[in-house]
Amino acid sequence: MAEPVTPAEFIDRHPAELIRRLRQLVGISTVNPPGENYAAITAALVVELESLGMKTRRYAVPAALLRRSLPPEHRRFPRFNVLGLLPVRGAKKTIHFNAHYDVVPVSGRWKHGSPFSGAIDGGWIYGRGTSDMKGSIASLLTALRALRAAGVTPRMNLEVSFTADEETDSALGTGWLVQHAPIRPDFAVVMEGGERNQVCCGHNGVVWLEVTVHGRAAHGSRPELGVNAFEKMAALVLALEGGKKKLARRTWVTPEGKTMRPTINLGGVFGSGEGAKINTVPGQASFTIDRRVLAVEDHAAAERELRSALAAAARTVPGCRISVRKISENFACFTPPTHPFFSAVAASVARVRREPTVFNVSTGFNDMHFFASELKIPTAGYGPGGRKEHAVDESAKVKELLASAKIYADLLTSFAGCAAKHLPWIFPGAARRNQRRRRGNGRKKAQKSEGGQGPQGAYRRADNARRPDGYFLRLFAANNGFAAWVHFIGAWMLELGASA
C-alpha cells in the first residue's frame, strides 16, 4: 500500500510532471495577434481539467461578435474560453482561478533555437509563454493533480478559467467569460501580477491611442511642394515632452511603500501611410501612445487630458494636422488588502516560501479588474512569474513554478471563505473604494464626491486614499512582525467564519 503524501510532498516528488505539462503548452504557439492555435490549446486544457474530475466546457465566442470586434485579417481565427467547475460537498463559498493562454509575438534569436522549444537550462525553462503565463497554468494543474493524488478535497467550490486575448484587451477572453459564462465566485485568484513574496491587490490601467499626422505627398526632388508628415510627427513628439515630465511628477504610494507614477510611451508602433517610397515626401505618418493609468486615477479624465495635450502640442507645430483613434483600453483596479481573503493568500505564500509577504500593485495590466471591479469580489494576483516576458529568451524558474503549485494547493486546503467583508479594527476606513468607470450600458462613472473630476481631482482622491488606511497599509508592508500578527489574526477569523 502506497504511503500517504501531502499535496506539497507530491509536488516535490513530481517536478517532471509539471515540466512536461508546461512544455506541452509552450509547444502550442498561441501568438496574439492574430490568435493562432486557440482551438488546439483549449482542447488540450479541456482534457486536463476533465482528467481532474472537473465538469468542463469550452465556450466558442460567437462569430458575429468576432466580426464586430476584430480586424478583418484576424476574424478567421476563432476565440475560445475554457471553464472547469468542481462543486465541493458542504462548501459555502466558491473560489475562481484564472489565467490567459495567449502569448505575444516573437522576434530575435533565441538561446535554444525555437521560441517554443520549452528547453531546460540551469533550472529555467525557456519559451514564449513560460513566464506570461502558461507557467501559471502548469502550476495550477499540478496543484490540482497533487490534491487528487493526496486524496484531499478543496475547502471551497472551485472554478477554473483559461481565457483568450489578454495580450490585446481581454474583451473576447475574461471580459466575455464574466458576462456570459455560468460563474458565481466569491473570491478570485488571477495567476499573475504578484510573484515571489508579493501578492498583487491591484494593477495599472492603460489607454492606447493611434495618432495620425496628415501632410501632403510630393516628389522627393520638389519637397517644397509637399508637407512632410514625418517631420511634423517628429516635431509633435518633441512637443509632448513637457507634458510627459509634468505627468511624471504625480505620485501614488502603494501598500508596499512603492511610489508609482503615470507614464506615457510613444511610438511602440510607428510608420508611414500608403504610397511610402524613398523619393516621395510622406503624406502621412502615425505613431501609438501607451498611457498607463494609475489605480487611483480617473480613467476617463486621464484619456481626456491626453487628447487635450495632443491637441495643444499640435497647435505649436505650424501646419500640423492630426487625427486620434482609440485602439483599446484596459481599466485599472485596486482593492485595499483588508479582506480576510488577502490574509489567507498571504499566509499561504508565507507558509510555502517561509518569508514575510507584502502586497504590491502591478505596473502592467491584467485581468484582475474583471473580477475586482465588475464582479466586485476580493481578487488577488499571484503566480510563478519569470524573466524577460515579451522579450527574447523568456523563461520561468522551475523552483518558482513548483512553489506556486504548492501555494495554490495550500490556499485551496486552508481557506474556506468567511462572511466578514473587511477588518475595520485593523485598517480603519480601508474598505472604502473608488468607483470605476465601466464600459457598456449601466456602468457607473467615477463619483464626484471623492475629490472632483479631472486629473487634479483624481490625485486628490489618491491623497485621500492614503489617509488613514494608507498609513496602516504602509506599516503592514514595512513591519514584518505586524504582518505576521495580521496573518495570524486573519487565519483565526477565517476559521471562525468557516465554522459558523
User: Is residue 226 located within the same domain as residue 291?
Assistant: yes
User: Is residue 106 located within the same domain as residue 231?
Assistant: no
Distance CA 363, CA 92 (A): 34
Is residue 444 domain-resident?
no
Predicted local distance difference test score (pLDDT) of residue 2: 62
15 upstream amide cis, omega within 30 of 0: no
115 upstream amide cis, omega within 30 of 0: no
The residues, any chain, with a CB within 8 Å of residue 415's CB and separated by 6 or more, are 95, 155, 156, 341, 344, 345, 348, 494
User: Is residue 275 located within the same domain as residue 380?
Assistant: no
Is residue 481 domain-resident?
no
Q: Cell digits for 281? A: 515626401
User: Is residue 318 located within the same domain as residue 362?
Assistant: no
- CA 142, 145, 151, 157 dihedral sign is positive
Alpha helices in 160-281 (DSSP H): 174-180, 229-239, 241-248
Distance CA 261, CA 294 (A): 7
Q: Cell digits for 127? A: 519559451
Distance CA 232, CA 215 (A): 8
Distance CA 43, CA 55 (A): 14
Q: Cell digits for 201? A: 491587490
Per-residue pLDDT of the chain (500 residues; tens, 9 = 90+): 467 799 999 999 999 999 999 999 999 999 999 999 999 999 999 999 999 999 999 999 999 999 999 999 999 999 999 999 999 999 999 999 999 999 999 999 999 999 999 999 999 999 999 999 999 999 999 999 999 999 999 999 999 999 999 998 899 999 999 999 999 999 999 999 999 999 999 999 999 999 999 999 999 999 999 999 999 999 999 999 999 999 999 999 999 999 999 999 999 999 998 889 999 999 999 999 999 999 989 999 999 999 999 999 999 999 999 999 999 899 999 999 999 999 999 999 999 999 999 999 999 899 999 999 999 999 999 999 999 999 999 999 999 999 999 999 999 999 999 743 333 322 322 223 333 333 343 333 333 333 333 333 333 333 333 333 333 333 343 344 444 444 444 544 444 444 44
Distance CA 145, CA 64 (A): 37
Predicted local distance difference test score (pLDDT) of residue 484: 42
**Any idea which residue has 513637457 for its cell?**
242
Is residue 227 domain-resident?
yes
Is residue 80 domain-resident?
yes
Distance CA 344, CA 394 (A): 31
The residues, any chain, with a CB within 8 Å of residue 396's CB and separated by 6 or more, are 22, 124, 125, 130, 131, 135, 384, 385, 386, 387
Indicate the residue among 330, 355, 374 that finishes a domain. 330
Task: Please choose, from the candidates 161, 186, 178, the residue with its C-alpha nearest in 3D space to the C-alpha of residue 58.
Answer: 161
To the nearest 10°, the Cα dihedral for 14, 19, 24, 26? 150
Cα distances (angstroms) measured from residue 90 to each of 151, 277, 283, 385, 441:
17, 70, 68, 34, 37
Predicted local distance difference test score (pLDDT) of residue 3: 73
CATH number at residue 318: 3.30.70.360
Cβ–Cβ under 8 Å, residues 383 and 192: yes
User: Is residue 177 located within the same domain as residue 209?
Assistant: no
Cβ–Cβ under 8 Å, residues 262 and 250: yes
- CA 355, 361, 365, 368 dihedral sign is positive
Is residue 233 domain-resident?
yes
CATH number at residue 163: 3.40.630.10
Q: Cell digits for 6? A: 501531502
Q: Cell digits for 52? A: 481532474
Domain that holds residue 372: 7-202+332-414
Q: Tell me 370's DSSP state.
A: I
Predicted local distance difference test score (pLDDT) of residue 428: 27
Distance CA 147, CA 144 (A): 5
Distance CA 430, CA 337 (A): 8
Task: Please choose, from the candidates 345, 325, 307, the residue with its C-alpha nearest in 3D space to the C-alpha of residue 198.
Answer: 345
One-character DSSP codes across 42-97: HHHHHHHHHHTT-EEEEEEPPHHHHHHHS-GGGTTS--EEEEEEE--TT---EEEE
**Any idea which residue has 505564500 for its cell?**
349
Give the number of domains in the chain: 2
Q: Tell me 444's DSSP state.
A: P
Q: Cell digits for 51? A: 482528467
Is residue 451 domain-resident?
no
User: Is residue 258 located within the same domain as residue 273?
Assistant: yes
Indicate the residue among 394, 414, 434 that finishes a domain. 414
User: Is residue 210 located within the same domain as residue 178?
Assistant: no
Q: Cell digits for 445? A: 462613472
User: Is residue 165 located within the same domain as residue 250?
Assistant: no
Phi, psi (5° rounding) for residue 430? -75, -15
Q: Tell me 446's DSSP state.
A: P
Global pTM? 0.81
User: Is residue 18 located within the same domain as residue 157?
Assistant: yes
Q: Cell digits for 88? A: 465541493
Angle at 234 between CA 233 and CA 239, to 5 degrees: 95
User: Is residue 211 located within the same domain as residue 258?
Assistant: yes
Predicted local distance difference test score (pLDDT) of residue 275: 87
Indicate the residue among 270, 305, 330 that finishes a domain. 330
User: Is residue 112 located within the same domain as residue 251?
Assistant: no
Cβ–Cβ under 8 Å, residues 283 and 229: yes
User: Is residue 375 located within the same domain as residue 229?
Assistant: no
Distance CA 174, CA 31 (A): 17
Is residue 445 domain-resident?
no
Is residue 240 domain-resident?
yes
Task: Please choose, from the candidates 324, 345, 335, 327, the residue with its C-alpha nearest in 3D space to the C-alpha of residue 375.
Answer: 335
